[in-house]
Each structure stands twice: as structure tokens, then as C-alpha cells.
Chains A and B, each alone.
Chain A
Amino acid sequence: MNVGLEHYLVVSALLFALGLLGVITRRNLLVLYMSLELMLNSANLALVSFSRFNDNLNGQVMVFFIITVAAAEVAVGLALIVALYRKRQTAHVEDLTSMKL
């Protein structure tokens, strides 16, 4: 059976679902963040496969921007987690129920 666009999209959808499952069930902030990365990566895979099957490089440029923004997002998010941990001594979602530090 020839591998077509659907095969890549199925992989991308399943990876997105896995990331979503992680975000909903896991309670550790860092694992939650890794699941978010998984979801971003599944979007990247979908964009690259669209770009390949439409003979158009715009999708790949989009992925390039997504990777850049994701790197910036990880830097800021991890800095926030470290700042939060300094105040509260926890990185667990259930211990972080009030907005006030």
C-alpha cells in the first residue's frame, strides 16, 4: 500500500491526541509542558506533509516559524515555572490553586 497524505495526517492526529491526553491527565507542570511540545510537533508534521503533497514550500516556512516561537515559549514558560517554584516550592498543578503569590 502506497504511503499517501492520509498516513501522515493519521500519525499527526494520533500524536496530537496523545499530547492532549497528557495535558489533561498529568498533573506535573513540566510533564504538562512536554505534552504541549508534543502537540506543537504534531502540527508541524501535518504542515510539512501538506507542503510536500502540494509542492509548495510555504508550509515548511510556517514550521520554521513555529519552531522559533516554540523555543521562545519554552524559555519564558520554564522561567515562569522556576519563579513559581521559588515562591511555592511545588511544581504540581493541584497545589497551585490560588492566583495570589
Chain B
Amino acid sequence: MVTDILFYVFAIATLVFGALVVANPFSRNPVTSAMFLVLTIISMAGLFVLLHAFFLAAVQVLVYAGAVMVLFLFVIMLLDLKEEEQRKIKKTGLVAGLVSVGAIVAIFIRSLLASEPSRGLGDPQLEGSTFALGKLLFTDYLLPFEIVSLLLLVAMVGVILLSKKDLK
């Protein structure tokens, strides 16, 4: 019963903060959006805990709310974005956005209504603990794991090259 209430708390928090990232009526400043994105990610980590994905909840907070958002804030501070406040959102863009979003939500809702209702949550058979995930990661998913490490190396080299002063 408590988990149900917690689900609604975290779900509403995630959606409200997510809406404030996209369209904040009080401030158009990117820093405000970044801060609300941090809150969205943290409430989503709460949802992960409710789903027994403990390791991913920790990684979500550490990597997203920690590393990625700090990078975002660095870049926002680096670029001087004062003029953003005066720009207006275009009417055509807003209408197109609302129509396409409405269409996608309609598709989602229709497919959800067409599906059979799932059974309630039983006792968890598997816990998303570090031990279980690590075991899976180093046995079944060893090759993808190594490839991801290569991808990170490529990204690092690319970023260093891009941030050089004389880009050729």
C-alpha cells in the first residue's frame, strides 16, 4: 500500500518537473530548466527503487544528476545566453508540436487500452542489485560491455579534438 502511494508521489513529481523543464511559465532561463531536469532525474531514481532496480537508481543519480548535469551547467555558464529571455515561441511551432504530441499520446493510450491488463506486482523474483547486474554484465554481455568502453574512448578523443581552438 505504501509503495502505491510512493509510486503516485514519484510519478507526479517526475511529470510536473519534466513539464517545468520544457515549458516554465516563470523563467525561460536554461539554468532553471537544467535544475528541474535534475529534480526529474532524482524522482525517476525513486521510481527505479520502487521497481527494485537499486543499482540503476544509484547510477541514475550519480551519472545523470551528477556528471551529465554538471556538464550541462558548465556549458550554459560558458555560453552567455541572456537574450533567450526575449525570444518568443513561434505560433506555428507550438501548434505543430501540440498536434504531433497529441497524436503520439493517442497512439500510446490506444495501444495501452487494447492490451490486456497485467497482473498485480508479485514478490520480486530478481533484484536489480549490483551483484546480479554485474554477473550478467560480465558473462552474457561481455562483448557489448567492451564495445561500450571503446565507444567512450572514441567519444573522449572526439571531444578533445572538437574543443581545440583551431578546428580544421
Contacts and interface: CB of A to CB of B under 8 A. Distances in A.
Partners in one complex: yes
Contact of B56 (A6, A60, A72): A60
A99 interface: no
A28 B74 CA distance: 16
A13 B64 contact: no
**Interface SS majority for chain A:** helix
A48 B56 CA distance: 9
B25 interface: no
Nearest to A28: B84
B117 A28 contact: no
A21 B118 CA distance: 29
A75 B79 contact: no
B79 A21 contact: no
B68 A51 contact: no
Interface string B132-153: 1100110011001000100110
A64 B60 CA distance: 9
Contacts of A28: 30, 81, 84, 87
**Interface SS majority for chain B:** helix
A64 B64 CA distance: 12
Contact of B75 (A18, A57, A82): A82
Nearest to B99: A24
A57 to B, nearest CB: 5
Interface in B20-56: 21-23, 30, 33-34, 37, 40-41, 44, 47-48, 51-53, 55-56
Interface in B108-133: 108-109, 112, 115, 117-121, 124-126, 128, 132-133
Interface of A: 1-11, 13-22, 24-28, 30-31, 33-35, 37-38, 41, 44-45, 48-49, 51-53, 55-58, 60-61, 63-65, 67-76, 78-83, 85, 91-92
Interface of B: 3-4, 7-8, 11, 14-15, 18-19, 21-23, 30, 33-34, 37, 40-41, 44, 47-48, 51-53, 55-56, 59-60, 63-64, 67-68, 71-72, 75-76, 78-79, 81, 83-84, 87, 89-90, 93-94, 96-98, 100-101, 104-105, 108-109, 112, 115, 117-121, 124-126, 128, 132-133, 136-137, 140-141, 144, 148, 151-152, 154-156, 158-159, 162-163, 167
